[in-house]
Amino acid sequence: MNEGTITVSLGDRSYDIFFARGVYPLFQEWVSRFFPGTPVFVVTDRTVLSLYGDDIRNMLSGVPHDILSLPPGEEGKNWDTVQEIYSFLSRGGAGRDSLAVAFGGGVVGDLAGFAAATYLRGIPYVQVPTTLLSQVDSSVGGKTGFNLAEGKNLVGSFHQPRAVFIDPDFLLTLDVRNLRAGMAEVVKCAFAGSPSLLETITDRTGNWKEMSGDAWITVIRGAVAFKAQVVERDEKEVSARRILNLGHTIGHALEQASGYGRLLHGEAVAMGLAWEAVFSRRQGTTPPALERRVIDLLLDMGFSLDDSAVPIPAISEAIGMDKKKLVSDIDMPLLTGPGSCVLTRIPVSVLREDLPAVREELRGIVRDRVEAAGRAKTPVRKEEDLRTPPVDVPASARLSISELERRVVVNPRDLGAMIALSEAYRRAGNHAGAWETIKEVLDQDPSSASAQSVARDIEREMKEALPDMEESPSPLLEEVVILEEGAFELRSADRRPDSVEGRDEAGDPSPPEAGPPVRTVTMANVYWEQGRPEEAMQIIGKILRNNPQDPRALSWLESREGTRAKSRGEQVVSSLTAFLKKMTKEFGYDVSRHH
């Protein structure tokens, strides 16, 4: 093993994990050495293919290969997709000496790995993970599988890859939400058995999002090294490997109960880590100081610790279907110290009965944290912002409304400017504009702490302005479900349909080819006042397509149509007059005598 490689020693199933920035040459060298002339079958998803399709084709130039592009997301991690991969391999004439390549995130890796494990009773495959979560977790260890309606990963197989190629530069295409989700698995590894990794991420709590490529390799390598050691001791999860399920017993239950796709896997794991720390402390295993260290670290990194829209009965039922269940018991890793845990047999009934108390205690811990911060006269944190850490006020907050509007028009993905603009609207008393703007931010980044805070301020002020709002919600807020502790969820009718084209790997919409993506009446007005009526009309048209009865959009359209028609008429008259003057000049007509 060298500095760029970790070897997972499993006898004839041993394999190397390569770490490098710009990993393609390593991949090419490895394939030409171990699978010369062998057909290669690449399984990826559409968003990854849109980003790295040319790279994949270039690194396999001269090698017979084919590419299968799957729909992205956890929703497609099912039997139907596995069958699609089987058909892809069969149509291409894949044999037992062919090589499958899982090029993508955890879902792609699990599905392609399972298909490789079972097609022709097993063909070799390699992992090229492109998300942080897949780099530190799912690409290593040989677990493959898919979900059933009854539970996550209930069908699967152990099938070790022949190699794993990890490149931190893939992380450049991820948004903060997906990076944070991957960090949940890093935190899990640190608390489960790597004190040195725990110290590393604790030191970087405040700036982990700004880490360089080399710093990412250090963190990823630390998590992978710990997992590789565990896998070497217990490849098939008979005993010791179960410590890697830390946070996953309740995390998987939350993920299933909320409906696959609502929470990213890492977000559910982070919640599971917090819930299980509280449960373990209540069982007398985890010291209170360690429980608080887990919770504080997760909050400081920006994780939500609960999804209050998910009811306890649904979580309880999902735990009963967990694949870690043994008869009526579950083997759960419980924390005993920083970087150490112990497997404990827990009756399912005990865990289920304790869930309501765990949720209530967790909320109390978070409230106490905020109250303590207030007593220490730290920067003000409202209770609705508990689920995520404080966010520095962007420099854009000091700009005027007109300057902020210009910034949003120039770059509709500048969420900092949009948040500052919403706050500026709120302070100016324009609550409708404030809400429309912050709703757009929440649609793009639901976990944004500062957006949550501004949205709660708008809600509070509207309640003060409309005392009867509890019984009769104001039209301003009727399009949003306001959950406990600052969680805002846009209703399904208000969400945009997920699309594959033009999205980056993290699922974030990329700038469209034409037309502004910020679809609010307020921004339509900004475009109109800047002399860009066509773009303004595009915004209103899209709003009305989603909701034909939107009162503000209808009112805006009615008030502008007359002006627009008059403007069009004036433009026609002006153009005709110019044309006639030109004709008069060129041909000597006297236009004034013929009217």
The Cα–Cα gap between 551 and 574 comes to 35
Question: Which of 147, 153, 162, 185 does the annotation list as catalytic?
Answer: 185
Q: Has 188 been annotated as catalytic? A: no
Task: For residue 163, list its beta bridge partners.
Answer: 16
Question: Which of 77, 188, 245, 519 does the annotation list as catalytic?
Answer: 245
The Cα–Cα gap between 221 and 6 comes to 8
Question: Which of 33, 121, 585, 594 does the annotation list as catalytic?
Answer: 121
Question: Which of 162, 252, 387, 426 does the annotation list as catalytic?
Answer: 252
Question: Which of 188, 227, 359, 387 does the annotation list as catalytic?
Answer: 227
- Whether 322 and 253 have beta carbons less than 8 Å apart is answered as yes
Question: Which of 65, 77, 143, 177 does the annotation list as catalytic?
Answer: 143
Question: Which of 162, 188, 237, 436 does the annotation list as catalytic?
Answer: 237
- Whether 256 and 323 have beta carbons less than 8 Å apart is answered as no
Chain Cα centroid distance, residue 459: 26
Q: Has 185 been annotated as catalytic? A: yes
Q: Has 324 been annotated as catalytic? A: no
Three-state secondary-structure class, residue 80: helix
Q: How far is CA 341 from CA 228, 229, 241, 349, 522, in A?
A: 17, 15, 12, 22, 53
Read off the tokens for 187: 């935190």
Q: What angle do CA 339, 342, 345 make, to 5 degrees?
A: 150
Helix extents (H) in 340-491:
348-375, 401-410, 415-427, 431-444, 449-465
Question: Which of 77, 177, 248, 456 does the annotation list as catalytic?
Answer: 248
The Cα–Cα gap between 484 and 486 comes to 6
Q: Has 245 been annotated as catalytic? A: yes
Q: Has 227 been annotated as catalytic? A: yes
- Whether 359 and 275 have beta carbons less than 8 Å apart is answered as yes
- Whether 281 and 357 have beta carbons less than 8 Å apart is answered as no
- Whether 329 and 321 have beta carbons less than 8 Å apart is answered as no
Q: How far is CA 324 from CA 238, 248, 312, 318, 558, in A?
A: 11, 9, 19, 12, 60
Helix extents (H) in 258-311:
265-282, 288-300
Question: Which of 159, 177, 265, 439 does the annotation list as catalytic?
Answer: 265
Q: Has 292 been annotated as catalytic? A: no
Annotated catalytic residues are 121, 143, 185, 227, 237, 241, 245, 248, 252, 265
